[in-house]
């Protein structure tokens, strides 16, 4: 009996229990079609029950096809948020390179819908086996994923996701909850009567405002504030991330008009853009919250210009996306969960060195 338990499961075992031929099992394993839905479901049920693991290399060889996983990302420089996402994708690519699966990156200007559309067309021309993407421009992303669905190409959202019915998986923060948590942390030690208002610093994006990647996070934040500080006014200041002088001018003008406001938040990874102004205009009662473990943010946290960060291991989003798609390409195995939410890690000056 012990020998049977340790015996390696074969295609013949699957075929026998499913009541089909080995060739039919092979067609299902390699997604060649020509098998009835009833037989396919029976075969997959037997595979799950037996725990059958096809040989990875034999499986890839049998498909007689080179596979690729594409990733569409905003252009970035070292230590930027999107550079960390890129590193995770590249690390995943290194892990699967021996499996006859290549990876390729397509870049675009995150402030230009036209650039995004061009990158999408270039990517589609390569006919990838899977795609990893953050949904930057909502309408254009829907156009892209509709094309992927028509071509039967699975796609994985990272960083944020759109509410559509066809995405293969999502790896990233629970965006709404992260905004709700941010509001809680920002106001944790504040009585409602002492909260004079909140400054939300936002990035100027494309002229048509098609890109709003933190909208769900902002919704969570606003809902928490409405529930717990209903009389508090939320102010928005938009800054150009490439214009330091303009940022300085915008902040200086705001605080001159609202000297009592001491709660400041940014919902993206660029809270470090406020550091120069905050350093020159210190306020021991000011509370500043931001997101993501960029080195510039961590440094500001250590130095006391930022009160807290909500972080995740950013590179794991894209790394896990690549591994999930490769598992599907090789073994036709889907992730256990469609939505794979990253841990929301709360960093302060006291624990930043250990992250």
* Higher pLDDT pick, 229 / 14: 229
Answer whether residue 242 shows pLDDT above 80.
Answer: yes
Specify burial of residue 10 (Cβ count, 10 A radius: 0-12, 13-18, 19+).
middle
* Confidence (pLDDT) at 65: 64
* Confidence (pLDDT) at 208: 62
Percent of the chain predicted with pLDDT > 70: 92
The answer to whether residues 167 and 135 touch, using CB atoms and an 8 Å cutoff, is no
The answer to whether residues 330 and 59 touch, using CB atoms and an 8 Å cutoff, is yes
Place of tokens 């397509």: 106
Q: What mean pLDDT is reported for the chain?
A: 90
pLDDT grade for 30, boundaries at 50, 70 and 90 = low
* Higher pLDDT pick, 246 / 10: 246
Contacts of 144 (CB under 8 A, 6+ apart): 72, 120, 124, 133
* Confidence (pLDDT) at 90: 97
Answer whether residue 260 shows pLDDT above 80.
Answer: yes
Instruction: Flag whether the pTM goes above 0.85.
Output: no
Nearest 5°: phi and psi at 330?
A: -80, -50
Specify burial of residue 164 (Cβ count, 10 A radius: 0-12, 13-18, 19+).
middle
CA 128 from centroid of its chain's CA atoms: 20
For every residue of 139-174, DSSP letters joined together read: HHHHHHHHHHHHTT--EEEESS----S--SEEEE--
Span 116-143, mean pLDDT?
96
Any idea how long the chain is? 355
pLDDT grade for 46, boundaries at 50, 70 and 90 = confident
Read off the tokens for 346. Answer: 């709360």
Nearest 5°: phi and psi at 204?
A: -70, 125
Q: Would you call 236 helix, strand, or coil by DSSP?
A: strand
The answer to whether residues 321 and 169 touch, using CB atoms and an 8 Å cutoff, is yes
* Confidence (pLDDT) at 318: 97
Span 64-84, mean pLDDT?
90
* Confidence (pLDDT) at 3: 41
pLDDT grade for 1, boundaries at 50, 70 and 90 = very low
Span 205-215, mean pLDDT?
74
Answer whether residue 22 shows pLDDT above 70.
Answer: yes
The helix or strand, by DSSP H or E, that contains position 315, with its residue range, turns out to be: helix 315-331
Strand 263-265 versus strand 308-311 pairing type? unpaired
* Higher pLDDT pick, 353 / 144: 144
pLDDT grade for 303, boundaries at 50, 70 and 90 = very high
CA pair distance 211, 261, nearest whole angstrom: 28
The answer to whether residues 348 and 355 touch, using CB atoms and an 8 Å cutoff, is no
User: What 8-state DSSP symbol labels residue 274?
Assistant: G
* Higher pLDDT pick, 284 / 11: 284
* Confidence (pLDDT) at 15: 86
């Amino acid at each position: 009996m012990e020998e049977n338990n340790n015996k390696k499961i074969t295609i013949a075992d699957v075929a026998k229990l499913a009541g089909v031929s080995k060739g039919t099992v092979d067609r299902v394993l390699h997604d060649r079609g020509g098998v009835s839905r009833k037989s396919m479901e029976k075969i997959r049920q037997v595979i799950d029950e037996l725990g059958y693991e096809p040989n990875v290399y034999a499986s890839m060889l049998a498909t007689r096809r080179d596979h690729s996983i594409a990733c569409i990302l905003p252009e970035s420089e070292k230590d930027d948020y999107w550079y960390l996402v890129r590193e995770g994708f590249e690390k995943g690519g290194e892990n699967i390179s021996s499996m006859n699966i290549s990876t390729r990156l397509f870049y675009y200007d995150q402030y230009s819908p036209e650039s995004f559309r061009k990158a999408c067309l270039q990517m589609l021309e390569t006919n990838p086996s899977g795609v990893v993407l953050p949904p930057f421009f909502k309408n254009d992303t829907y156009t892209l994923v509709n094309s992927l669905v028509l071509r039967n190409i699975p796609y994985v959202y990272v960083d944020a996701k759109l509410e559509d019915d066809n995405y293969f998986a999502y790896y990233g923060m629970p965006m709404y909850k992260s905004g709700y948590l941010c509001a809680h942390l920002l106001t944790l030690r504040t009585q409602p009567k002492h909260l004079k208002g909140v400054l939300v610093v936002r990035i100027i994006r494309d002229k048509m405002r098609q890109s709003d990647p933190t909208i769900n996070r902002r919704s969570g934040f606003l809902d928490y504030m409405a529930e717990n500080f209903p009389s508090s006014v939320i102010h928005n200041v938009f800054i150009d991330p490439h214009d330091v002088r303009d940022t300085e001018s915008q902040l200086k003008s705001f605080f001159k008009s609202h000297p009592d406001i001491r709660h400041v938040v940014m919902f993206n990874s660029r809270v470090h853009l406020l550091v120069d102004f905050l350093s020159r205009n210190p306020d021991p009662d000011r509370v500043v919250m931001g997101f993501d473990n960029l080195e510039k943010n961590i440094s500001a946290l250590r130095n006391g210009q930022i009160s807290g960060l909500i972080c995740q291991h950013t590179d794991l989003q894209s790394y896990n996306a690549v591994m999930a798609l490769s598992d599907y390409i090789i073994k036709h195995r889907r992730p256990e969960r469609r939505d794979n939410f990253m841990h929301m890690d709360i960093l302060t000056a006291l624990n930043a060195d250990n992250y």
